[in-house]
Amino acid sequence: MQFDSVIIILLLLFIFPIVILFSNPNIFFAITSIIIILSSMKKINMILFENNPNDENVENIDEEVIEEFETISDIDFKQLIKGIRSLWNLFVIIFFVYCIFYVNNIILKELSIILIAYRLLKLIDILNIINIAKTVPYFYKIKNFLLVIVNSFSIIFITIVCCNKFIRFYF
């Protein structure tokens, strides 16, 4: 019973700020932009400056600790992490679709469609059981190069859209 009340309290702590965030579209846009830019910068930093840029943090966690938490809480943490990654990619896709409405340049619209297509492929890869890494030679080098390019384009696109939106809004 205590576990249920803790979950309810955590949901209230997260739901209330999210409702406030969604009530003002400009604050929502600014905070979401900052979160996505920081996430992209973190991924670029991990790839360029660390020795093992592993996007899959599940392998780094001790398996015994995961099994112990799973038995205590009756939650499959691997599925939970997969669900959180799927929700994050869906959230970013929706944000990029929202950004398309603030862009008048056809090149930026094409860039946003490329970013959306990449996120859709990443979402399919998360939900897919087949491991493509075994079939493609140099898969991780290609993946890291693609991640740097896509995250750089995401930062550039979001920065341009934010400038365009807020300059148009305030002037």
47 with 144: CB under 8 angstroms? yes
Domain ranges of the chain: 2-170
pLDDT reported for residue 23: 81
> What's the rounded Cα separation, in Å, for the pair 14 and 73?
20
> What's the rounded Cα separation, in Å, for the pair 29 and 25?
6
Question: What is the per-residue pLDDT across 133-153, written as a single tens digit (0 to 9) for each?
Answer: 566 677 777 888 889 999 999
Higher pLDDT, 61 or 158: 158
Q: How far is CA 107 from CA 100, 120, 146, 160, in A?
A: 11, 20, 19, 12
Q: How far is CA 56 from CA 63, 113, 121, 149, 163, in A?
A: 14, 25, 16, 19, 33
Provide the pLDDT confidence category of residue 2 given band limits of 50, 70 and 90: low
Handedness of CA 86, 91, 94, 99 (dihedral sign): negative
Question: How far is the first Cα of the chain from the last one, in angstroms, to the nearest whole number?
Answer: 54
Helix (H) or strand (E) holding 113: helix 106-127
> What's the rounded Cα separation, in Å, for the pair 160 and 102?
10
Question: What is the per-residue pLDDT across 63-76, written as a single tens digit (0 to 9) for each?
Answer: 777 777 777 777 77
DSSP codes of every residue in 79-94: HHHHHHHHHHHHHHHH
